Structure 1
């Protein structure tokens, strides 16, 4: 972080010095050389003295010059022109303009030729002011640059602290501490970068956890169908009875079908995070959307002697969401309810201040309280009497949770107040984060 401080301070101070130098050059090249205001007064005084001396005779000049010195408290001297040794260029300037101003380290010298007395020269030396004013200017300049530097440092401290913290957390994250996150701060200048880091860390942690879970589940769940396949093939090979051989082969086919479905479900879940980066939100009527899904499952529910009822408001519910994945999530919730209900499923659409909530009630045994958090994790079943998906792969409700997260919604389970079984609540925000501008629901 020292490089940031040094770089910015030197850049700003260097820019000020450089620009000041360039502007001085521009001013010098485009403006006439003039004397400071205090010396202009002396120059005019000398001009007045010379004009007055031009009206006098030679023998009166010395007395008048002495009188000028006493009157104006300045050092005025009358000299012979021949006594002044000047370079040719300065001598020519004095001859043409009758006046010359020379500055040295100790004083400023004014020279005037007397027009009526060409061999006489009036000179006056004005001592330079002490270095106190010059030193004061330097001190004030240093104070200015120091103040700018301190202001920059004060502005940089919060930035460098947050950058240093972000750097340390990124290093820890790279070493395998995938749960590290940067806490938001209202004094941060890079809150957008910090939020992006947290989102990235969450996505990577989820992907790594899913990969580990997927690998562990595959290695565990594949053992049973592979063992069954081996047993069935060996039995078929050893069996001479054609009918019995056919039975074994049918069992092998069933295990292959189950194995194929399992692999398809696992691979689909593994690719969901990538699918979540390419959602296609569109405007939908949530009421009509849910009703359509319920109608799809009605024939299957009738075959199971079950009843699906939808309670919805009369007005349309306009929301923005990805139709494919919300359809998949609601379908999973309803299928899950049909697997474990006795006779009835009721769907409610309820409005809160910021969300619309889809509630799926059933009259089954419900979900134990100690299983309500883990039931939405992948490859985890609540208990032997109730799983999360009718395919028994433990992915149905995990998909529901992930779809809810993509849409900035939530999913939870509790006891149904209507039917006494389970009640799954799936919420969608009224203002979708998937679109760039806020659109209020109708």
Structure 2
């Protein structure tokens, strides 16, 4: 047996709960109404009893008592059973049995007159003194009107409560069906979006309810998926592009060596094979670093001096370039980070600056209230405004970096920012507002707390 649908479960739950609430409310209403009507009847009988007792005490007792309403009865009889006075509806009847001998006000229930045997009366009984001796005064009211009112209300509730529950069930069924219909349309639209249709979006009707917010959330999720797939496709394309050149260079060098081994210089062959191999190795290594960061691999951190790393990388770079590297403003910078990741970040920043510098690169390192701040500034052409938001994107390279003059895969700055973030810091491109030429990158890392 298949389980109930969400629509059926929701409707059934609403119907059962409302039926219980309405049923309980109906029972409480009937019980309360019955008690209130009986209490009102008792108050009227008690008032009439007081009037009859006053008449007995004043010796002005008429033979027909008119101090009760049409549904009530009243009777005064002596201790020997002689009826002294009675209401018009029981005139000629003997004393109401079981009532004599009462000395205090009591509430009794007794059957009505002979022609109304089915009626039940609630009465008040009291013994009243007279000159001829004590007499018994009985005043009662019929409960038939109370029962009739309860029966009518019960009949209305027996019909009205099921109708109300049924109507509620229909309304809930329709409303839930309408809401779930919108959800089903969203499901169908999302299910119809294929890998090549990630640009499609779920139709939004402007509603601010839960379904409308779900549609907006689905569209935002589709946007993120579209962006992730686009980045993955660009990654494949860029990696293929970056691997194609060194592979082609290696193949060419090997084919030349195989065609005429004696004509190929060993040094040129090594350069033609090992150089592209190193480029591919760097690319694969960079991809592994980013993959580890994407997988949130734990950071193996230790205490180190960032100034020592900066000076080491600057010394290394001076052996491969004629560009001036100024490290005169490098001071102490104690931090806690992964040494290899931080060294790679500093190297990438410095290599990026050297690739674009016209004559010099300036490096400064200082400890401030914000943390350990590393600034790397070159005097190159700078970064165009339309590319400033893309410099940290993976495989992003400006037009000049696509030329053969500038090496690199476009992953250096992305790796540098990832390393800074994994160390608890950040890496930003600083906007100098035209104060200086070139690009200005700033890395801020938390200061290593001094030991007590």
Q: State TM-score, norm by structure 2.
A: 0.55
User: How has the CA–CA distance of structure 1 residues 27 and 280 changed in structure 2, closer, same or farther, with 3 Å as cutoff?
Assistant: farther
Matched, 1:332 2:344: no
Q: C-alpha root-mean-square deviation of aligned residues, in Å?
A: 6.5
Matched, 1:18 2:45: no
Distance, in Å, in 2 between the alignment partners of 1:171 and 1:327 is 45
Does the 8 Å contact 2:325/2:363 carry over to 1? no
2:233 aligned residue? 212
Say if 1:111 and 1:124, in contact at 8 Å, map to a contact too: yes
> Gaps spanning 5+ residues in structure 1: where?
85-96, 431-442
Q: Deviation per CA, 1:386-429, whole angstroms, max 9, x where unpaired?
A: 98998511111233456678879673365686763322245789
Quote the residue 2:121 is aligned against: 110
Cα deviations by residue, 1:213-268 (Å, 9 ceiling, x for unpaired) = 12112332333222223222222223242864674355223333333333333444
> Secondary structure of the residue that 1:394 maps to in structure 2?
coil
Matches for 1:192-271 after TM superposition, within 5 Å: 204-241=225-262, 244=265, 247-248=268-269, 251-270=272-291
The answer (yes or no) to whether the contact 1:375–1:388 under 8 Å persists in 2 is no
Structure with greater helix share of residues? 1
The aligned runs of 1:79-158 (5 Å cut-off) are 99-100=109-110, 109-110=120-121, 124-125=141-142, 127=145
C-alpha contact 1:355 1:428 (8 A) present in aligned 2: yes
What is the distance in 2 between the residues matched to 1:182 and 1:296?
Answer: 57
In 2 relative to 1, CA 52–268 (structure 1 residues): closer, same or farther, beyond 3 Å?
same
Task: Work out the CA distance in 2 between the residues paired with 1:369 and 1:113.
Answer: 101
- Structure whose alpha-carbon radius of gyration is higher: 2
Supply the distance in 1 between the matched residues of 2:49 and 2:390 (Cα, whole angstroms).
102
Query: Does the Cα contact within 8 Å between 2:325 and 2:360 map onto a contact in 1?
Result: yes
Verify the 8 A CA contact 1:361 1:416 in the aligned structure 2: no
Q: Answer yes or no: is the 8 Å Cα contact 2:427–2:441 preserved in 1.
A: no
Contact kept in structure 1, 2:52 and 2:67, CA below 8 Å: no
Give 1:345 deviation, angstroms.
1.1
CA distance in 1, matches of 2:266, 2:42: 124
User: 2:327 corresponds to which residue?
Assistant: 308
Residue 68 of structure 1: SS of its match in structure 2? coil
Aligned: 1:78 with 2:90: yes
Kept in 1, the 8 Å contact 2:186–2:202? The answer is no
Tell me, in whole angstroms, the C-alpha distance in 2 between the residues paired with 1:408 and 1:101.
95
Distance in 1 between residues matched to 2:92 and 2:256, nearest whole Å: 139
Q: 1:168 to 1:38 in 2, by over 3 A?
A: same
Structure 2 equivalent of residue 40 of structure 1: 42
Matched, 1:366 2:382: yes
Seen in structure 2, the aligned counterparts of structure 1 residues 282 and 388 have a Cα distance that, compared at 3 Å, is farther
> 1:397 and 1:240, CA in 2 relative to 1: closer, same or farther beyond 3 A?
closer
Match of 1:37, SS state, is helix
Contact persistence 2:380–2:437 (CA under 8 A): yes
Distance 2:300 2:28 in 1: 60
Q: Are positions 1:68 and 2:67 aligned together?
A: yes
Q: 1:388 to 1:17 in 2, by over 3 A?
A: farther
Contact kept? 2:345, 2:416, Cα under 8 Å: yes
Q: CA deviation at 1:194?
A: 9.8
Query: Whose relative contact order is higher, 1 or 2, with alpha carbons under 8 Å and at least 6 apart?
Result: 2
In the TM superposition, what is the alpha-carbon distance from 1:376 to its structure 2 partner? 3.4
What secondary structure is seen at the aligned counterpart in 1 of 2:327? Answer: strand
Paired residue secondary structure (1:379) = coil
Gap change, CA 1:267 and 1:111, over 3 Å in 2: closer
Question: Could you tell me which residue of structure 1 aligns to residue 130 of structure 2?
Answer: none
1:171 matched to which residue of 2? Answer: 190
Residue 344 of structure 1 pairs with residue 356 of structure 2: no
Give the Cα–Cα distance (whole angstroms) in 1 for the partners of residues 92 and 404 of structure 2: 118
Contact in 1 for aligned 2:45/2:124 (Cα 8 Å): no
Kindly state the Cα deviation for residue 109 of structure 1 after the two structures are TM-superposed: 4.1
Matching residue within 387, 400, 423 for 2:440: 423
Secondary structure in structure 2 of the residue aligned to 1:306: strand
How many residue pairs get matched?
374
